[in-house]
Amino acid sequence: MLDEQAKKTLLLKIPHGLYVCGVKNGDEVNGFTASWVMQSSFKPPMVINCVNQKSISHEMVKASGVFALSFLEAGQKDLAQKFFKPMRRVGNKFEDVEFYLGETGCPIITDSLGYVECRVVGAVEQGDHTVFVGEAIAAGVHRDGNPLLLEDTSWQYGG
């Protein structure tokens, strides 16, 4: 029998980094704060990125088959928060954020630790998020630093 409180307590203890996931569809770009991300293979280098199926970004990843993860630095909570709200409500989230387009055409945050760009090579649509498996096709380091972790904020995304 599933103890709902135990499940929620333990799932919230899984450590997560915070990233801005840049996506595109044609000339349109968007970004969202991602936390359900992990490396899944060395050869070839692959990353798993779980995306809410109700989001515009989900449709953009499905349509383009690419995404870019900008790794946020500890102390960039305000930047992460800017990308939490849906584009439907706030419009262009990149309006006052410096970024450039990577090899995939996805936006990459200039003021981040670095980035990984991925081409989607698989997807599992179960539950309310899709698990996109992305092969890393480009990466770069902007600077050294400690990553921003969900546990370093007062936010909860999980359980």
pLDDT 10s digits, 103-157: 999 999 999 999 999 999 999 999 999 999 999 999 999 999 999 998 888 887 7
CATH of the domain at 69: 2.30.110.10
The predicted pLDDT at position 91 comes to 62
Residue 74 lies inside a defined structural domain of this protein:
yes
Residue 6 lies inside a defined structural domain of this protein:
no
Range of the domain at 124: 15-152
The length of the chain in residues reads 159
Residue 20 lies inside a defined structural domain of this protein:
yes
Q: What is the pLDDT of residues 78-114, one digit of tens each?
A: 999 999 876 555 567 888 899 999 999 999 999 999 9
The predicted pLDDT at position 86 comes to 66
Residue 95 lies inside a defined structural domain of this protein:
yes
> Cβ of 78: how many Cβ atoms within 10 Å?
7
Residue 2 lies inside a defined structural domain of this protein:
no
Q: What is the pLDDT of residues 34-62, one digit of tens each?
A: 999 999 999 999 999 999 999 999 999 99
Residue 4 lies inside a defined structural domain of this protein:
no
The structural domain count of the chain equals: 1
Report the chain's C-alpha Rg in angstroms: 15
Residue 79 lies inside a defined structural domain of this protein:
yes
Between CA 37 and CA 159 the distance in angstroms is 16
Q: What is the pTM of this model?
A: 0.92
Residue 66 lies inside a defined structural domain of this protein:
yes
